[in-house]
Amino acid sequence: MASRLIESLASTEALAEVFSDHSILRAMLDFELALAKVEARLGVIPLAAAQSIAAAANPAAFDTMELSRRALRAGTPSIPMVKALIRLVESRDKSAAAFAHWGATSQDVSDTALMLLLRRAHNLIDADLGRCEKALRALSEQHHNSVMLGRTLLQAGPPTTFGLKAAGWLAAMRRGRQRLAHTFSEALVIQFGGAVGTLAMLGDKGSAVARELAAELRLGCPDAPWHTHRDRLGALICACGLLTGSLGKIARDISLLMQNEVAEVFEPSGEGRGSSSTMPHKRNPIGSAVTIAAATRMPGLVACYLTAMVQEHERSVGGSQSEWPTVAAVIQATGLAAESIAEMTEGLTVDTARMRQNLEETRGIIFAEKAMTVLAGKLGREKAHQLLEEAVQKVVHERRTLAEVLAELPEIMKILDKDALNQLAVDEDYLGSAESFRIELLRDVPSNSTKS
């Protein structure tokens, strides 16, 4: 399959194939094949006609470039595809050609073909999310007691553990995965309504054909056609936006932890991965960059889809025409983020020694909060805060430890001895509920998470 360089950072290879010309054509023809088969089974069209339609519905017989050109004139790719199919059937069996696409309309083809593509895409995305769950769980368990700086507003805060950080990533990603699976299950239904959603051309057999068609395609069968009711797809698109945002947050954290000044974690390396064209020393966070780029594009794409939901009457002008490129871009961005995070977390290098070094280089100021909780009861909160604020300034300017500076303050030494001051800087004593929170976040995650 030929790919466009401009889209090389917008999709995975597998998802690019799902939305390739050949794949889309195959999905549209699968709809036509299933429709003819079901209608012949129910006596709506002759069996011989269905056989002729099946024989003609070979993707190799269609010119996708020509279909693309004609789609711009027709307003949908399904119209020129149906016309081409009818010509091919007619060349084999003139009488059978009248029964191709019987009772359906162009949007039935387009929407149901999209559902077939989305089903394939979900399997690919969910497999990568399963890899993410497994990798993040392993990281959390391996580093349950790897103490590191907590960071707020990009500044050093009291300590946390990398195990808790990884568990937080996992929990958000897992919620996104569950939300995505639910919205996919609701969205994957056939669209089959005929001209205005009544299937009038099929008489009293419309509902039966719809049920059989859904079963044949292994899709859900909605209560009624949904031509201009796009809420199911809208929920799916929003779920993609939320999930990709969560994956982007993981990527943002990893990219910041990879900075030279921090150097606590590193994406996996490999030939051509993360290199610079001019600076051989660099190890760029490429997986993070690709994921953040996907998350950056996503809000606009989601907004575009939601805007297109306001569709008039039984068929819209412009709304449905905007959807295919938008949905394809959303799904591919989601899949790209999932694959990138899976690869990153499976090969993530964690430098616990550097985490410890970064803690020590704060010279104890991150424990000012801890010191204030000890001193406030004796000195009052306001006085304790003032003393510690002044002490922290001296630590920063004189490059001494907080314990050393506090030991010189008579107000402090009346309350604490030197052993107590030194104990303030023991990070393991100021982790609070970190481990219990970590365990709770992992509680519902089996070690071999797979799609249900």
Task: Say how far apart CA 170 and CA 98 lie, in whole Å.
Answer: 55
- Which member of 151, 211, 315, 354 is catalytic? 315
* CB atoms near residue 298 (< 10 Å): 24
Residue 160, phi then psi, degrees to nearest 5: -140, -165
Nearest to 263 by CA among 398, 378, 354, 190: 354
Return the half-sphere exposure (C-beta side, CA atoms, 13 A cut-off) of residue 442.
24
Return the half-sphere exposure (C-beta side, CA atoms, 13 A cut-off) of residue 391.
27
Name the CA dihedral angle for 65, 71, 77, 78, rounded to a multiple of 10 degrees. -120
H/E run at residue 147: strand 147-152
Nearest to 159 by CA among 420, 358, 401, 398: 358
Task: Say how far apart CA 156 and CA 143 lie, in whole Å.
Answer: 20
- Whether 315 is a known active-site residue: answer yes
Residue 350, helix vs strand vs coil: strand
- Which member of 3, 68, 185, 276 is catalytic? 276
- Give catalytic residues, as residue numbers: 276, 315
